[in-house]
Amino acid sequence: MLFNNFIPQSEGWLPKWQLFVAATALFNTIQNLVSLKLTKRLYGGSPLVNPLQARTFAVWTLTSMIVRGYAAYHLHLRPIYDITLFTYFIAFFHFTSETMIFRSVKFSGPMIFPFLVSTVTLIWMFNQRDFYVTAQGSM
C-alpha cells in the first residue's frame, strides 16, 4: 500500500507519533493563516488573539512541524532528537506560562490538548532517549 511507504520504519511508536503530531501541526498552521476561530477557541476567546498573533503562531507551528516531521524518520540522530525534544519543551512552557504566569488564558477545554501532547511527549522522549539515539547517531 502506498500509504505505508510514508510511515516511519523505525522500531517503536515514537517515530509514528512524531509524524502524527507533525500532520496535526500542518492543519493547525493552515487554520491559523486562514481563520481566528480555532485559535480564539484554544485561547479561551482571549481578546489578545488577533491576526498578527495567529500568523506568528502559524510560523512557530510550521517550524515545529518541520522539525517533528524530520524527526519521525531520524530519531536515531542525537541532535535531531534533542532539537525535537526542545520543541515540546517550548510548547509546554508557552501554554503553561500563558496559563499560570501571565494568566492571559484559562486552563480549560481546547487548552488541555496541547498541554497533554507536550507533557506526555516530553516524558516519553526523556524516557526513551537511549532506545532511539544510537551510538552511531550520537555524533
CA-CA distance, 121 to 84, in Å (whole number)? 10
Q: How far is CA 59 from CA 13, 52, 136, in A?
A: 27, 11, 33
Residue 90: predicted pLDDT: 97
Question: How many independent structural domains does the chain possess?
Answer: 1
Kindly give the parts of the chain with pLDDT less than 50: none
What tens digit of pLDDT does each residue of 71-88 get? 999 999 999 999 999 999
Q: Has residue 72 been placed in a domain?
A: yes
Rounded-to-5 percentages of helix, strand, coil across the chain: 75, 0, 25
Reduced to 3 states (helix: H, G, I; strand: E, B; else coil), residue 66 is helix
Q: Has residue 29 been placed in a domain?
A: yes
Domain that holds residue 90: 12-132
